[in-house]
Structure 1
Amino acid sequence: MKLSINKEQIITQLQSLAAVADKKQTLPILSNILIKADEEEIAFKSTDLEVELEFVIAHKSEIPGEITVPAKKIADIIKELPDGQIHFELNEDTTKLVIKSSSGRYNLSTIPASDYPDFDVVKSDQVYKTTSESLIALMQKTSFAMANQDWRHYLNGCFFQKNLNDLVMVATDAHRLATYTLPLEQEGEFSGIIPRKTIIELLKILPKSDEVVSFYINANNIVFMSKNFTFKSKLVDGNYPNYNQVIPSGEGLEITVNRKQLLDALSRVSVLSSEKFKGVKLNTKDESLDVSAHNPEQESAEELVPLTKSAEGFDIAFNVNYLREVLTNIEDEYISLVSYGPDKSAIIKSSDLDQTLVLMPLLL
């Protein structure tokens, strides 16, 4: 195998591939990237057997071939090399991949490509098409609410569902819940839980444009395909909870406040909140919102934030970190908080009617 390619054509791809490759080193080959070069294109692939990412670049190689090399090492080397052409060549006994640039020469150990595992996925007849922008919106508007290493493994990801003419993505860690809905007028319905790692890596590699992305889903896997990459992922095995039961409805007490002013007040007041519960209390006083916190050392903090819409009797407490994270994921100047009682879930409303944000209260 022998080829030359410009650094900027592969640098971001190698970083993504290294992130996907297995870091636990259960099998040495899983810590490697597979490089497959022929006369028309170069394919780069990595997997941890839970997900698989493949990039294909249209590029002619001097000598076709295939080999695997350590993912992190090749990504780190290419990242540090000066801009310009990089030359790859297998040595005579294929035990080393030689990388040359204007600054030097590097010899990387290899494992034969024949040892690289296949990530088998049953192809589905139903392929859906949407835009990269739509997928990014679905994930960005919800993924902050995913659980992380929760014993309820089905919460460690995003629930992805199509019903009639809508695509829905949902995430919750049982403290907050986020849903986002976008139209998709294609036949067919499906549902599955996309793992946390898949969501995080997809957000890095999806192009920030309206480029078409195709995907299909079956009982165990989901596959995303664009003109440059294919991303395969196992789905989380389990039943997602009925999230609609968590979303409150009916008449509630609604207040409207400047989002940044509330965030700033929360940042200051939370310094004196309890280390364990991180609780802040919100209650209305005339046309202002009283934001307060206290801790076991009998220290306390209190600030008044002006309201553009007030509601008498509004009184609720939240974990300040969860509240701040929800507010940070909204871009509006003003937001509304709707309380259904101090012991019931509250809704945070923005101008984006496709998004639903629910926050569970703290009982202080």
Structure 2
Amino acid sequence: MRVSVLQENLAKGLSIVGRAVQSRPTLPILANVMIKTEEARLQLSATNLELGITCWIGAKVDTAGDVTIPARTLQELIATLPPERVDMDLDSRSLTLHLDCAGKTANIKGMEAGEFPLMPDFDAERALSVPAQAFKEMIDQVVFAAAKEDNRPILTGILARFDDNTLTLAAADGYRLAVRTIELELGVGGRTVEPMIIPARTLQEISRIISDDDEEVLIAFPDARGQVMFSLGSVVLISQLIEGKFPDYEAIIPRRYETTTLLYTKELLAACRSSEVFAKDSANTARIVIEPSEVNTMPGRVLVAGRSQEKGDAEAPVDASIEGQGMEIAFNIRYLIDVLSVIREEQVVLETSGSTAPGVVRPAGRDDFIHVIMPMSTGR
């Protein structure tokens, strides 16, 4: 194999596929990235058997070939090289890859490409199309609500449900729930797509990979494999699905509210961040005091209060338009910050029904995104 690529393209490709490499893989070959020539492109692939990523970059191919090279070693080396042309020449007998860039040379020992796990081909003809930027926003608005611990593996994933022309993503960790929907222009084309649970990490990687120039994400389902594949032009990602039944999230969403509070998103977010300074010493518990105005011509207010037994306390008032009765409820302030940080609308609605009922946060004027937060006990 003899091939030439630009250093910046190789570095970018390695950074993308490198996220599928485990620090301590079960098999030595899984610590490697596969390098394979393909016409006027160079294919880079990495996998941990649960997540696999393939990326193609432009290249000048003099001699075809393939090899697997230790991913971290190659990535660290390429990062030290100047933004010039990188010439790579493989000694097929010793499986040593020689690199030359602006006079700097290196030799890296590799392994046979035939030992690398096979990746299924992406079937673009049977794939579903989702607008890239909308899909990225969807992911960002639900992925943080997935469980981080493996106590309930099903909750470390995100439910993806295709219904006619609608795609729904839902994530929950037992304390909060995020649900986001989007209308698909082409729909599912009359096909039946069963609900699936995609690892949250997989969708996080998709969100990172989507660039401002990407117009669509293609989603395909390899036959009888329990896998899902995503294609973004020069990048293909394949992931195992999580087996099991996702909780009935619709039963968690409150159907009625006693109080509806309209606030400016940035003002509420700033108040939450101020209170978090002290609330984080009390399991992130913060009091939300909703105070309707006694005079119709004056705005009501919401008081966000955080307290630490050792450090002190903070209170931040926010003007609000309030319909319903006043009340006090405690939330994990981190959860409020998480959801407010991904709402782009100028105003946000907080719907509550008392100190022991779940609260709902959603963007004002939209019904395609809803976030439910369970209340906390203040010990009073």
User: Is 286-295 or 77-86 further displaced after alignment?
Assistant: 286-295
List alignment gaps of at least 5 residues for structure 2.
Answer: 294-299
CA RMSD of aligned residues (A): 2.3
The counterpart of 1:353, out of the listed 340, 350, 367, is: 367
CA contact (8 A) 2:361 2:371 kept: yes
- What SS does structure 1 have at the residue aligned with 2:77? helix
TM-score norm. by structure 2 comes to 0.89
Letter in 2 for 1:306: D
Call closer, same or farther: CA 1:77–1:251 in 2, change over 3 Å: same
Could you say what secondary structure the match of 2:211 adopts?
Answer: coil
Deviation per CA, 1:5-64, whole angstroms, max 9, x where unpaired? 112322211101111112212211101011111444321111111111112335341111
For residues 181 and 303 of structure 1, what CA distance do their matches in structure 2 show? 33
Which of 245, 249, 267 lines up with 1:261 in the alignment?
A: 267
Matched residue SS, 2:150? coil
How is 1:177-326 mapped onto 2 (pairs within 5 angstroms)?
Answer: 177-184=177-184, 185-186=187-188, 187-188=190-191, 189-217=193-221, 220-273=226-279, 275-285=281-291, 286=293, 287-297=300-310, 299-309=312-322, 311-326=324-339
Range that drifts further, 126-135 or 210-219: 210-219
Match of 1:107 in 2: 107
What's the CA shift for 1:121?
Answer: 8.2
Unpaired runs of 5+ residues, structure 1, are: none
Give the distance between the partners of 1:204 and 1:236, measured in 2 at CA: 21
Question: Is the contact made by 2:214 and 2:232 (CA closer than 8 Å) also made in structure 1?
Answer: no
Q: Deviations over 1:138-193 (max 9, x none)?
A: 21121121111231001112111101221111111122211111112222232111
Q: Which amino acid aligns with 2:373?
A: L
Question: Contact 1:45–1:52 (CA<8 Å) still a contact in 2?
Answer: yes
- Deviation per residue, 1:233-272 (Å, 9 max, x gap): 1001111101101111123301112222222222222333
User: How many residues get paired?
Assistant: 364
Partner of 1:162: 162
Task: Look up the match of 2:68.
Answer: 68
Structure 1 distance, partners of 2:235, 2:168, is 23
* Whole-Å separation in 1 of the counterparts to 2:251 and 2:71: 44
2:339 maps to 1:329: no
Deviation at 1:274, TM superposition (A): 6.0
2:77 and 2:204 map into 1 onto residues whose CA distance is: 24
C-alpha separation in 2, matches of 1:298 and 1:15 = 42
Q: Report runs of 4+ in structure 1 exceeding 6 Å deviation.
A: 121-125
Instruction: Describe the SS at the equivalent of 2:177.
Output: strand
**How much has 1:222 moved relative to structure 2?**
0.3
CA contact (8 A) 1:270 1:293 kept: yes
Q: Sort the Cα spacing of 1:233 and 1:300 in 2 relative to 1 into closer, same or farther, 3 A.
A: same
Work out whether residues 258 and 324 of structure 2, in 8 Å CA contact, stay in contact via their aligned partners in 1: no
How far apart are residue 123 of structure 1 and its match? 6.9
Structure 2 SS opposite 1:147: coil
Query: Would the aligned equivalents of 1:38 and 1:60 in 2 still touch at CA under 8 Å?
Result: no
Distance in 2 (alpha carbons) for counterparts of 1:35 and 1:92: 13
**How many angstroms does 1:4 deviate by?**
0.8
Separation (CA, whole Å) in 2 of partners of 1:309 and 1:84: 60
One-letter amino acid of the structure 2 residue matched with residue 166 of structure 1: T
Tell me which amino acid in the other structure corresponds to 2:67: I
Q: Distance in 1 between matches of 2:57 and 2:345?
A: 40
